[in-house]
Structure 1
Amino acid sequence: MYLSRGVAPTLSGTRIELQPIAADHASALFEIWTHPAVAPWLDTPPLASVRDAEQLITLLLQMGKEEESLRWSITLPDGEIIGSCGYNQWQLPGAYRGEIGCELSPSCWGQGYMREALGLVLDFGFGTMGLNRIEALCHPGNIRAHGLFKALNFSQEGLLRQYRHTASGFQDVSLYALLRNEK
């Protein structure tokens, strides 16, 4: 539909570019995904090595080919990878909704990079994919994520109790949503 051979298109912003996630991004993403300020908020098994990150990227690429997931690496003009974002899942007929996820290197927090990246992801979802509703789930204690989604005009719709199971047990998540006509 909007993927070329199962690969997400490159999306360009003012200060960043979203490049389709690739195996050669594993080392940079491993550093971000395992950072002590980022890892606790991720809904993924802990990564022990760059090889684990490569395997996760391989899985994400396979899911992209099956149109089950879309993931981009967030890059600066010099090519530095500072995070990733995309659609964890979506459903078109019968729902026209998708769920986004994101993470950013703490060295880039507070500079508007993720807001710009998710703006591109939202435009792609509403415009190209034809979504009507985009959701975001985050841990109730992730204050930065709550602020980001509110800044992007998402509405907090509620708390999903014991929604995820993690190594530390069941975890609640906050549900945010943005409708096409609210962007």
Structure 2
Amino acid sequence: MNTNRLSPSITASLNAQMTKEAHASQIYLSYASWAQSEGYDGIANFLFRHAKEERNHMMKFLEYILERGARVKIDAIPEPGPDPLHVQDCFEKVFQQELDNTKGIYQLVKQSFTEEDWATWNFMQWFVKEQTEEETLAINLLDKIKIAGGAQASSDALYALDRDLEKTPDDAELAEDKSQDNP
């Protein structure tokens, strides 16, 4: 008995996004390894945690596809690309990767809306919020790096940033969570 409740086009898009999440995990792993080899243990820790988070996102897609009765397609993951040149370059690349991921999420939301696949549309709302958090976190980190001196940041500033990132929460506070009492 066929229990698939996803259209072929939604299935293909979900599988593509699953691969994109796996690729994001590989990018974070690559940058974490680079940071560790450069002596930035706090930055590496932060990036390793995000690699795991992206892998969890990949698994959410995999499980959703299976739960809807469709077929998961495991594709090759592209190479993460070259190592960052410096800390600012690392987080600029992280931000660009998150923007690319957001595009894929938004395309899936639009597609599920157009196809009136309300289960998938609802499933994707969690990812919309997650990407808002990821972009906000990346922008906040880029702001800190700029304050530290950007690509020419001093070793003292980078040391402080490295120590700070070791303890930085994985989620950013969003505007929707703010109020007059909690600005």
TM-score bracket, normalised by the shorter chain, equals 0.3 to 0.5
Q: As a proportion of its length, which structure holds more strand?
A: 1
Which has the bigger relative contact order, CA under 8 A and spacing at least 6?
A: 2
User: Whose radius of gyration is greater, 1 or 2?
Assistant: 2
Q: Report the TM-score, using the length of structure 2 for normalisation.
A: 0.34
Q: As a proportion of its length, which structure holds more helix?
A: 2
Q: Report the TM-score, using the length of structure 1 for normalisation.
A: 0.34
